[in-house]
C-alpha cells in the first residue's frame, strides 16, 4: 500500500532533475565542458519548445522529432560524463 502520492505540478512539471548518487566531480573551469553544458541547455530548451508544439503536429512527426532530440541529448550526456571523468583524473 502506497503511503504517499507524489505529484509534479507547476509551470515546469514536464521537466525535473534526478539526483545522482556517487562521487561528485569537482567543478573545473573547462571551456569544452562549458560548451557541452551550453549545448545541453539549448537542447533541453528545444525539447521543451517541441512539447509545446505537440498539438500542432502529427503524432508521427512529433514522435520522430522527439526521438531525434532525445537521442542527441543522450549522446551529449555521454560526452559530458566522459569529459567530467577526464577532468577528475
What does the domain layout of the chain look like in residue ranges?
Answer: 31-88
Checking if the pLDDT of 80 tops 80, the result is: yes
Looking at the chain, the whole-number percentage of residues with pLDDT higher than 70 is 69
8 A C-beta contact, residue 46 and residue 3? no
The mean per-residue pLDDT over the stretch 20-44 comes to 81
8 A C-beta contact, residue 51 and residue 28? no
The overall average pLDDT reported for the chain is 84
pTM for the predicted model, two decimal places = 0.67
Amino acid at each position: 500500500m502506497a503511503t504517499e502520492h507524489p505529484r509534479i505540478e507547476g509551470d515546469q512539471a514536464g521537466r525535473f532533475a534526478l539526483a545522482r548518487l556517487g562521487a561528485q566531480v569537482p567543478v573545473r573551469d573547462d571551456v569544452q565542458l562549458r560548451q557541452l553544458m551550453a549545448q545541453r541547455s539549448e537542447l533541453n530548451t528545444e525539447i521543451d519548445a517541441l512539447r509545446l508544439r505537440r498539438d500542432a503536429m502529427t503524432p508521427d512527426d512529433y514522435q520522430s522529432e522527439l526521438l531525434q532530440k532525445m537521442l542527441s541529448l543522450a549522446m551529449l550526456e555521454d560526452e559530458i560524463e566522459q569529459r567530467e571523468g577526464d577532468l577528475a583524473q
